Amino acid sequence: MPSVLTIAGSDSSGGAGIQADLKTYAALAVYGMSAITALTAQNTMGVTGVHEVPAEFVAAQIDAVFADIVPDAVKTGMLANAAIVQAVAGKARQHAFQKLVVDTVMVSKSGIRLLSDDGVGAMRELLLPLAEVVTPNLPEAEILLERKIESREDIRDAARAIQAMGARHVVIKGGHQKGDTAVDVLFDGREFREYSAPRIETASTHGTGCTFASAIAAFLARGESVPAAVGHAKDYVTEALRRAYPIGHGHGPVHHFWRWWGEGP
């Protein structure tokens, strides 16, 4: 059975982080494992607290997994600080991570920083060069590049610049763009591909980025190419948004199990 390791933070409300990742893996028929980088106190209305796991213990979790079950793909989410980024990059080299998907989690929807400034620098220098796929949204791409991204050509220039940092494939997500269509742009160093879907008007958007990156990792673990994995992940997330049902008083989660539960339990 294909397997994926997620290295990410825990969301106490279950909609994002490792909880979203593990739900995605289960929905897409891969075996999910986790190394927790941080505990967050959060709900659909926002993050109220963060407790970072010592980098040495993050590394120990990764070692324990690889000593027994070597994953077919690895996905990173919230890494919190430079020490954890350094530890993860070190383990990526030591264990020769296959098909590493880096979700550049930096800021929560409520504005809480989820990656320190020195962590951003460490991600640029140490982790992106090891990534098979990196999946920034527009605000994250702006932080990585320290410049505004506004036009369609800006997006393509940003993809080129991030790919030049070492990632083999860059997907700049279009969820923060305006308009009736959400367009994700994939760049592999040679050509661009665009993946379009109707923008879903819903408050249930919590964990969208985590779910998208995890779905890419799941499809890669199942043997699909990067372009195919991105396309199937886009379709999966679009339906998870479309079929979500209200939970909580803020931004509720997407519906990871829409194939099995329909519109709700």
Active site residue 207: yes
Which residues on neighbouring strands pair with residue 136, listed in sequence order? none
- Extended strands (E) in 145-259: 169-172, 181-187, 192-198
Structural domain total, the chain: 1
Q: Burial, 72: exposed, middle or buried (Cβ in 10 Å; 0-12, 13-18, 19+)? A: buried
| Candidates 77, 210, 211, 252; catalytic one | 210
Domain CATH for 133? 3.40.1190.20
For the stretch 49-102, pLDDT in tens is: 999 999 999 999 999 999 999 999 999 999 999 999 999 999 999 999 999 999
Domain with 35 in it: 3-261
Q: Which parts of the chain sit beneath pLDDT 70?
A: 110, 175-177, 179, 262-265
Measured at the CA of 218, the angle between CA 234 and CA 175, to 5 degrees, comes to 25
Instruction: Answer yes or no: are the C-beta atoms of 34 and 8 closer than 8 Å.
Output: yes
Residue 197 φ/ψ, nearest 5 degrees: -150, 150
Taking Cα atoms as reference points, which of 59, 113, 112 lies closest to residue 84? 59
pTM: 0.96
Taking Cα atoms as reference points, which of 121, 223, 222, 229 lies closest to residue 184? 229
pLDDT of 121: 95
| Candidates 205, 231, 234, 252; catalytic one | 205
pLDDT of 171: 98
Instruction: Answer yes or no: are the C-beta atoms of 116 and 81 closer than 8 Å.
Output: yes
For the stretch 209-223, pLDDT in tens is: 999 999 999 999 999
Q: Give the ranges where the chain is alpha helix by DSSP (H).
A: 17-27, 55-66, 82-94, 117-122, 138-145, 152-163, 208-221, 226-242, 258-261
| Candidates 209, 231, 250, 252; catalytic one | 209
Active site residue 208: yes
> Which tokens sit at 135?
């999946």
Active site residue 210: yes
| Candidates 44, 208, 211, 238; catalytic one | 208
The Cβ-side half-sphere exposure at 27, using a 13 Å CA radius, reads 27
Taking Cα atoms as reference points, which of 217, 254, 206 lies closest to residue 42? 206
| Candidates 77, 119, 174, 207; catalytic one | 207
| Candidates 173, 211, 231, 234; catalytic one | 173
Instruction: Answer yes or no: are the C-beta atoms of 221 and 5 closer than 8 Å.
Output: no
Taking the alpha carbons at both ends of the chain, their separation in whole angstroms is 27
